[in-house]
Structure formats: C-alpha cells, structure tokens
Amino acid sequence: MNFDQVIDRNEYPALKLNKPLLAEHFGNDKALPFWVADMDFRAPDVVIDSLRKRVEHGIFGYEYKNDSYFNALNRWYKNRHQWSIDQDHIEFCPGVLNAVSILINQHSDTGDGVIIQPPVFFEFRMVIRSNNRKIIKNPLKLVNGKYQMDFEDLEEKAANPKTKIMIICNPHNPVGRVWTRAELAQAGEICRQHNVLVISDEIHGDIVYKPHHYTPFASISDELAQISATCLSPAKTFNIAGMIDAMTVIANVQHRERFHDFAHRYQINKTNVFASAAIEAAYSQGGEWLDELLTYLHANINFLQSYFHNNLPQIKLIEPEGTFLVWLDFKELGLDAKALEKFLTQKAQLALNSGYWFGREGAGYARMNIACPQSVLQEAVSRLTNAVHNYL
Ligand SMILES: Cc1ncc(COP(=O)(O)O)c(C=O)c1O
C-alpha cells in the first residue's frame, strides 16, 4: 500500500473540505484541513475489491448479517485483542454516537449526570446536552507529559446519586492515551460500586502503537462487562467512516433488550449491503494492511516530533500511544485560546481543532490529524514555521 500517494478528495464532498464549514469553524475556507478524524488513505485493497464484487452482483435488496459476517468480527477481536465476543451480545446501529446517545437516554433521566474526562472528544458534550443531561467533568491530569485519570475526583463524582453514567474514551481522543487494564479496572470498580453505567467508546481501539496494548473494557471481567456497553466500529481502522455502521456490545441482558427494542422501534438496525461487504472483508483480511498503516502513522508521529524538536521547540507534541490524532502543546507561544486559534487559522493557514473544543482544559493546545501522506505534514510544518518566524 502506498500511503505516500496524495489523493484529491475534492472529487467527492469530503466533510473536511466543506468550505462553509471551514469558514464557520476557522474563519478561513482555504485553511489546510487536519480537523476531521478520517484518513486521506485509500481503504485496504481487500475492502475495495469486496465492494467492487458486491457492485458487480447487481442486486442490492434487503440483507441480514450472516454467520460469515459475525465470524469475521469475532475472529478479529479474538486474534487481535484476545476478546471473545458473544455473538448474542452485539447490537447494531448506524454510528458510535447514535449508540452513545441512545445509551445516555436509556440509563439516565433528565438532569442526571454523565461523567466525561476532558480534554475529550467534543461530541460527547453535545450528546449529553442534547439529551438534557448534566456534564460532570472528571478532568485528566497531565503528569510529566502523560495524561492520567484522576481517580480521587472520579470517586467523588461517581458517588453523587445523580451521576448515572461515565463515558470512557479508550483509546482517548484527543490525548492519545491507551488506557491500561489496571486503569480501566480501577475506573470500572469505582463505577460498579456507585451503580454508574460505563459507556466505553472503543472506536480507536485498533490504532495503537507498540508496546501499548488496547484492552477492551468488557474483557476485563464479567462484573465490568455487566455494568458497561462497549461501542465498536471499523470506521477509523479502515477509513470507512462513511459506510455508517457500528456495533455495541452489551452483556447485561436487560440492558441489551432495551437497546434492541429501541433500535427496532426506530428501525435503525438495518443492514447496508455495502457496509457489510466492506466490514466483512476488512475484518477477515485487513490485518496486514492495518499493520502497514500503523508503521506509516508512527513514522508520521516521529517526523512531527523530530521536526518540532529541531525547528520549533516552542511546540510540544504529547506522544500518542494510540489514535491518528496528535495533541500539540502551543502554550510556550504565549497566546490565549482565541489568539492561538487566530494565529493557526489566519497566519499558519491550518485547520486544526482548537484545544478548547475539547473543554477548557484544552486551552493552549490543538489537535492535529496525522493520517495523511507525510508530504502533507511537511507542508503543515512549513506553514507553521513561517507563521512563527514572521508573526510572533
Ligand atoms: C471517540 C470517538 N467516538 C465516536 C466518533 C464518531 O463515531 P461515529 O461516526 O460512528 O458516530 C469519533 C469520530 O471522530 C470519535 O473520535
């Protein structure tokens, strides 16, 4: 696979290139985009071949997810992540955020609290708010350049009887932590003691750099599986987010039945023939491609890190353990959150997600998507260098 190939995404309406959105979020519709969390790489050939074959068949009527689909999914998690998923525990819906929203709705009432760990994926906040629930922050702590969970604060927040849910982002977007089994077990135990349901968003679970190791939350113990719902998706792993298909694993039978009834009531669990063709191929034959991708992504991280070290030491990269998103520390530039945003979008002409999108804890930082050819990253750092030298 040639990850260096630059592919023009203007041919189709890529969200990251949407001019009105770029103008709205960045005040600059010409800014080079690193904000949307998808990749600029072609999906694995096995996925593209499978889709081609599916198109050639020519009949696109109603389908169901058959054994070979489930087997591919199960083998992937078993072989790659040592997690045997009981097929009966899997529910489907269009995307991970749909599942998060449904779970919030089903496991809490208006005004109840939902814990998140900022700086964290901004859509969690939107989903909690749109369900009229209260955001309860358990901010991460930055200790010697590494983000950690604050368990003491978590204990306090979880103990409030109005707190009903905790969303764990594993691996964590945007700070790139791949939570260890011990960290997840400790957070899970606190939630279990206080009857707090854990929604574990594991959409980035396959994008993990050695020696780090992704631990599916529900694989830790039966007790933790019973108090959790795990959101999975091949969207990030194989760059197929536009396929719109995701899975939720729910071991608790009552919780699962509620989710199932809801999905059935609103008919959101139908099967998309192209998504199925893509996902089955990806999970059964996409492992080698993913290994190559991880090598390329890691080289991109190394490139950025050494570039900043040698040329722009004011900018620090918080080394990610997983995800194709990097969290950049711009605090040494001495700009407040809005001034930093203006500097990045107007002077450097870059569309990065400002750190404050992820909560006020993110002020002074920005998130950058590094899943692109290295030549595109070179253009970005050259813009940054010019901006730092000419405008600060
Ligand atoms: C942590 C996390 N969860 C969920 C999503 C969105 O998932 P979906 O498109 O399946 O709703 C993203 C996309 O960036 C993400 O980073």
Give the domain CATH number at 307. Answer: 3.90.1150.10
According to DSSP, the residues that pair with 114 across neighbouring strands are 135, 165
State the closest ligand 1 atom to the C-alpha of 36, by its place in the atom list counted from 1: 14
Burial 329-354 (b: 16+ CB within 10 A, else e): bbeebebebeebbbbbbebbbbbbbb
Q: In this structure, what token pair is assigned to residue 111?
A: 């005004």
* Dihedrals phi, psi of 172, to nearest 5 degrees: -90, 125
Question: Residue with the nearest Cα to atom 14 of ligand 1?
Answer: 37
Domain identity same for 267 and 342: no
The band of 391, judged by pLDDT with boundaries at 50, 70 and 90, is: confident
d(CA 234, CA 41): 15
Please name the amino acid found at residue 362.
G
Domain identity same for 70 and 169: yes
Question: What's 186-210 look like in SS3?
Answer: HHHHHHHHCCCEEEEECCCCCCECC
Q: Would you call 258 helix, strand, or coil by DSSP?
A: helix
Domain identity same for 204 and 317: no
Q: Would you call 232 helix, strand, or coil by DSSP?
A: strand
Domain identity same for 38 and 137: no
Domain identity same for 323 and 358: yes
Please name the amino acid found at residue 95.
G
Q: In this structure, what token pair is assigned to residue 59?
A: 């009949």
Task: Encode pLDDT of 264-290 as tens digits.
Answer: 999 999 999 999 999 999 999 999 999
Q: Where does a domain end: 284, 300, 331? A: 284
State the closest ligand 1 atom to the C-alpha of 124, by its place in the atom list counted from 1: 3
The domain that contains 192 carries what CATH number? Answer: 3.40.640.10
Surface-to-core class of residue 287, CB atoms within 10 Å of its CB (0-12 exposed, 13-18 middle, 19+ buried): middle
Which structural domain, as residue segments, surrounds residue 370? 9-44+288-391
Please report whether residue 1 resides in a domain: no
State the closest ligand 1 atom to the C-alpha of 244, by its place in the atom list counted from 1: 10
Q: What count of other Cβ atoms lies within 10 Å of the Cβ of residue 291?
A: 10
Dihedral of alpha carbons 328, 333, 335, 341, sign: negative
Please report whether residue 147 resides in a domain: yes
Counting the structural domains of the chain, the total is 2
Please report whether residue 276 resides in a domain: yes
Which of 91, 97, 214, 327 for a ligand 1 pocket mutation test, highest count of atoms within 8 Å of Cβ?
Answer: 97
Q: Is residue 174 within 8 Å of 327, Cβ to Cβ? A: yes
Residue that has been written with the tokens 């509620």 in this structure: 258
Q: In this structure, what token pair is assigned to residue 28?
A: 């600059």
Domain identity same for 98 and 215: yes
Q: Is residue 249 within 8 Å of 259, Cβ to Cβ? A: no
Domain identity same for 292 and 280: no
- Tell me the C-alpha to C-alpha distance, in Å, between residue 311 and each of 133, 275, 307, 316, 382: 45, 43, 6, 11, 10
> Would you say residue 392 has pLDDT above 90?
no
- Distance (angstroms) between ligand 1 centre and the Cα of 266 equals 21
Angle at 46 between CA 12 and CA 287, to 5 degrees: 115
**CA-closest candidate to residue 46, choices 298, 293, 287:** 287
Q: Where does a domain end: 267, 284, 301? A: 284
Domain identity same for 153 and 272: yes
- Distance (angstroms) between ligand 1 centre and the Cα of 231 equals 10
Domain identity same for 226 and 328: no
Q: Where does a domain end: 217, 250, 284? A: 284
CA-only gyration radius of the chain, Å: 21
Please list every protein residue whose CB sits less than 6 Å from any atom of ligand 1: 37, 95-97, 121, 169, 173, 201, 203, 233, 235, 241, 246
Q: Would you call 252 helix, strand, or coil by DSSP?
A: coil
Domain identity same for 274 and 367: no
pTM to 2 decimals?
0.97
Please report whether residue 195 resides in a domain: yes
- Distance (angstroms) between ligand 1 centre and the Cα of 136 equals 20
The band of 26, judged by pLDDT with boundaries at 50, 70 and 90, is: very high
Task: Encode pLDDT of 305-318 as tens digits.
Answer: 999 999 999 999 99
**CA-closest candidate to residue 141, choices 171, 109, 117:** 117
Task: Encode pLDDT of 61-117 as tens digits.
Answer: 999 999 999 999 999 999 999 999 999 999 999 999 999 999 999 999 999 999 999
Which of 34, 92, 121 for a ligand 1 pocket mutation test, highest count of atoms within 8 Å of Cβ?
Answer: 121
- Distance (angstroms) between ligand 1 centre and the Cα of 318 equals 21
Domain identity same for 137 and 246: yes
According to DSSP, the residues that pair with 147 across neighbouring strands are 142
Please report whether residue 297 resides in a domain: yes
Task: Encode pLDDT of 211-238 as tens digits.
Answer: 999 999 999 999 999 999 999 999 999 9
Please report whether residue 55 resides in a domain: no
State the closest ligand 1 atom to the C-alpha of 37, by its place in the atom list counted from 1: 14
Which of 100, 173, 240 for a ligand 1 pocket mutation test, highest count of atoms within 8 Å of Cβ?
Answer: 173
d(CA 162, CA 160): 5
Domain identity same for 295 and 275: no
